[in-house]
Chain A
Amino acid sequence: MKNTFRIHTKEYLEQPVYSAALAVFRFIFGIMLCGGVVRFWLRGWIDELYIQPKYFFHYYGFEWVPHPGNYTYLLFFVCGVSAFFFALGLLYRLSAVILFLTFTWIELLDKTNYLNHYYFVSLVLFLMIWLPANANLSLDGLLKPTLLKRQIPRWTTGSIRLMLGIVYCYAGLAKLNSDWLLEAMPLRLWLPAKNDMPLIGFLFNKVWVAYGFSWFGAIYDLTVPFFLLYRKTRPYAFIAVVVFHVATSMLFPIGMFPYIMILSAIIFFDSADIETIVRKCKNYFTNLPVAMGHDMFTFAPLRRSAVVVLFAVFFVIQLVFPWRYLLMPGELFWTEEGYRFSWRVMLMEKTGYAQYVVKDGATGRKIAVNNNDFLTRNQEKMMATQPDFLLQYAHILKEHYSKTGMTDPQVYATVYVGLNGRRSRLFADTSVNLAAEKDAFSHNGWILEYKDKIYGL
Chain B
Amino acid sequence: MKKWILITMLPAILMVAAVGCKKENDNSNDNNNSSFDRGAMLANYADNYVIPAYADMTGKLSTLKTKTDAFIAAPDESKLAETRAAWKAAYLTWQETDLLEFGPEASISLRNYINTYPVTVSKVNGNIAAGSYDLEQFGNKDAQGFPALDYLLTGIATSDAAIVSFYTTDAQAANRKLYLQAIVNKMVAKVGAVQTAWTTYRSTFVANTATDAGSSLSLMTNAFVLYYERYLRSGKIGLPAGAMTGVAAGELTEAYYTPTLSKELAQAALNSVGKFYNGFGYSNNLDGIGFHDYMKAIGTKDDNGKLMADVINTELDEAKNSLGGLTATIRDGVTTQRTEVLNIYQQLQEVVPLFKVDMVSAFGISITYTDNDGD
Contacts and interface: CB of A to CB of B under 8 A. Distances in A.
Interface in A176-210: 181-184, 186, 188-190, 192-196, 202, 205-208
Nearest to A204: B36
Contact of B357 (A208, A252, A355, A417): A417
A215 B216 CA distance: 32
A353 interface: yes
A340 interface: yes
Interface string B2-26: 1100100000010011011101100
A255 B20 contact: no
Interface residues of B, number: 55
B89 interface: no
Interface stretch (A98-106, A320-328, A342-350): A342-350
Contacts of A368: 244-245
Contacts of A173: none
Interface in A255-270: 255-257
B3 A230 contact: yes
A421 B210 CA distance: 20
A121 interface: no
Most buried by A among B2, B368, B372, B373: B373
Most buried by A among B2, B247, B297: B2
Given A368-B244, A423-B308, A345 B375 contact: yes
A115 B373 contact: yes
Interface string B348-375: 0000111011101111111111111111
A93 interface: no
B327 interface: no
B162 to A, nearest CB: 39
B358 A418 contact: yes
A422 B36 contact: no
Contacts of A211: 17, 20-21, 24
Contacts of B134: none
Interface string A240-257: 000000000000111111
A423 B302 contact: yes
Band of interface residues on A: 35 or more
A219 B9 CA distance: 10
A206 B38 CA distance: 15
Given A192-B36, A226-B2, A452-B303, A253 B371 contact: yes
Given A196-B209, A352-B357, A189 B364 contact: yes
Contacts, number: 161
B317 interface: no
A417 B33 CA distance: 29
Say whether chain A's binding surface is mostly helix, strand, loop, or mixed: mixed
Interface in A107-132: 113-117
A355 B357 CA distance: 13
Contacts of A223: 6
A205 B24 CA distance: 15
B370 A230 contact: no
A315 interface: no
B165 interface: no
B303 to A, nearest CB: 7
Contact of B373 (A116, A351, A381): A116
A193 B364 contact: yes
A116 B39 CA distance: 34
Contact of A353 (B6, B357, B364): B357
B20 A182 contact: yes
B260 interface: no
17 contacts: A115-B372, A116-B375, A182-B19, A183-B20, A189-B364, A194-B211, A196-B38, A208-B21, A226-B2, A253-B212, A253-B366, A257-B373, A351-B358, A352-B357, A418-B353, A421-B362, A422-B300
- List 10 tightest A-B contacts by C-beta distance, closest first: A193-B364, A255-B371, A416-B353, A368-B244, A424-B357, A351-B361, A196-B209, A193-B211, A423-B302, A418-B357
Interface of B: 2-3, 6, 13, 16-17, 19-21, 23-24, 28, 31, 33, 36, 38-39, 209-212, 244-247, 297-298, 300-303, 308, 311, 352-354, 356-358, 360-375
Interface of A: 43, 45, 48-49, 113-117, 181-184, 186, 188-190, 192-196, 202, 205-208, 211, 215, 219, 223, 226, 230, 252-257, 339-340, 344-353, 355, 357, 364-368, 377-378, 381, 416-418, 421-424, 451-452
